[in-house]
A and B are shown apart, each in its own frame.
Chain A
Amino acid sequence: MPTFVYMTSCDGCGHCVDICPSDIMHIDPTYRRAYNIEPNFCWECYSCVKACPQNAIDCRGYADFAPLGHSVRVLREPEKGTVSWKVKFRNGEEKNFVSPIRTTPWGTLKGPAEYDRPSADDFKSQELAHEPDALNIDGGLPALTPDRLKQGVQ
């Protein structure tokens, strides 16, 4: 379900623009409020929905199963580490879900710019950026050395 913005609730802070991995959340040049420029390209990751401090972003259900009269509203409570969903169906039925979203305080993750810049040698390593630290694996990533291969495999 792609996302959309209630422009009367949006205050144009730009958090959704910053966080959207598909780069489809942008600021309307006339009203300076956020909007989803291309719902077809929405990954439906709901990063913007969860990041919006004004609860101004909702999901639009697909027309084939959720036509007029439904709603999907979300409440992020970073101080509790939860995200709550309220799904309202056309017949008035309502379902509420609460999910944990994180175990560390909001804003404590290191952003990519806060890591050291990679050196030329880092590109020869098989590890991806910020590995193994970012994976929280003590002693590094498990590696399959040649002596542990099955006999006959080189």
Chain B
Amino acid sequence: MFSTNPFSALSSTVSPDIMQTFVVVMVLFVVAGTLIDIVHKKSARYFFENWRKVKEKGAKEIGGGEMVSLAAQTAAVEVLTSAEFCNQRRRLAHLLTMYGFVIYVVTTAIMVFGYPTPETATPAYLPNLWYLGGLMVCVGGYWFWFFIRVDVAAEGHSPFRIVRADLFILSLLVSTTAGLIWAMLQASGSAATGVFLGIYLIATTVLFGGVPWSKFSHMFYKPAAALQKRVETSNGTRRNLPPPADKPATLGDPTQLPRNY
């Protein structure tokens, strides 16, 4: 079951051309949605204005080599390991969801475009990775949704209270969960396959089509914001923060989650 390409099995009822067109439309949705979001919120304008101010106020000029080094540090620390999260549980949930989503999306694209029909045999590792990615999204996402989400953990709201800010995580979870169930039901020849395929397609369309209204595009904004933060620290403006206190560090690990909350 976990070694079967669900998209090649689907090709008997849905043409591979339709599946490939659907993936392309989803990619276009993300590009267009992000651009609309940037224009509507004026986030790019804010970012570059802030960048100029930081450059003007900075005590020192950042050279090209140093900028490359800062970008590499941002990629290694903030982007690849989500180190900006102070809560280690939240960081772990984010890493699971992020890498799961990347694996899930990439293997989907490879299977839909590279192995669309049973005539081209799919290597077993691709469906394996697809299921693994989907499960990682589910583990990280449901953990976040029910236990870590600030509305539940700090505000004390019910995990079933839904607001617009939940659009991204909820559509991602429904899309992934329904996708996995659909693939498993299809492999076992169940009659409910069509229902979960429908939910999967609707949730996936909402996930990618809802970019202007959800926080989907945070995956593009966050690296830029993290780089700017590093530049501000490096050129001396430090976001207008006081300089570090002239005292030795003697009281342990500041990243430890305080128990007294």
Contacts and interface: CB of A to CB of B under 8 A. Distances in A.
A19 B87 contact: no
A96 interface: yes
Interface stretch (A38-46, A105-113, A127-135): A105-113
Contacts of B87: 13
Interface stretch (B15-23, B99-107, B183-191, B247-255): B247-255
B247 A75 contact: no
A17 B150 contact: yes
Interface residues of A, number: 47
**Residue with the highest number of chain A CB atoms closer than 10 Å, among B86, B154, B246, B256:** B154
A15 B86 CA distance: 10
A17 B84 CA distance: 19
A98 interface: yes
Interface in A66-125: 71, 73-75, 77-82, 84-86, 88, 96, 98, 102-111, 114
Nearest to A55: B241
A14 interface: yes
B244 to A, nearest CB: 6
Interface in B67-89: 84-87
Contact of A96 (B85, B153, B242, B256): B242
Nearest to A107: B258
Contacts of A15: 86, 154, 258, 261
B44 to A, nearest CB: 13
Contact of A107 (B84, B242, B256): B256
B254 A77 contact: yes
A111 B259 contact: yes
A59 interface: no
B135 to A, nearest CB: 25
Contacts of B153: 14
Interface of B: 46, 84-87, 90, 150-151, 153-155, 163-165, 215, 225, 239-254, 256-261
In the complex, the 10 A-B pairs of residues with the closest C-beta atoms, listed nearest first: A14-B154, A53-B86, A86-B242, A84-B242, A105-B252, A14-B150, A107-B258, A18-B261, A79-B249, A82-B245
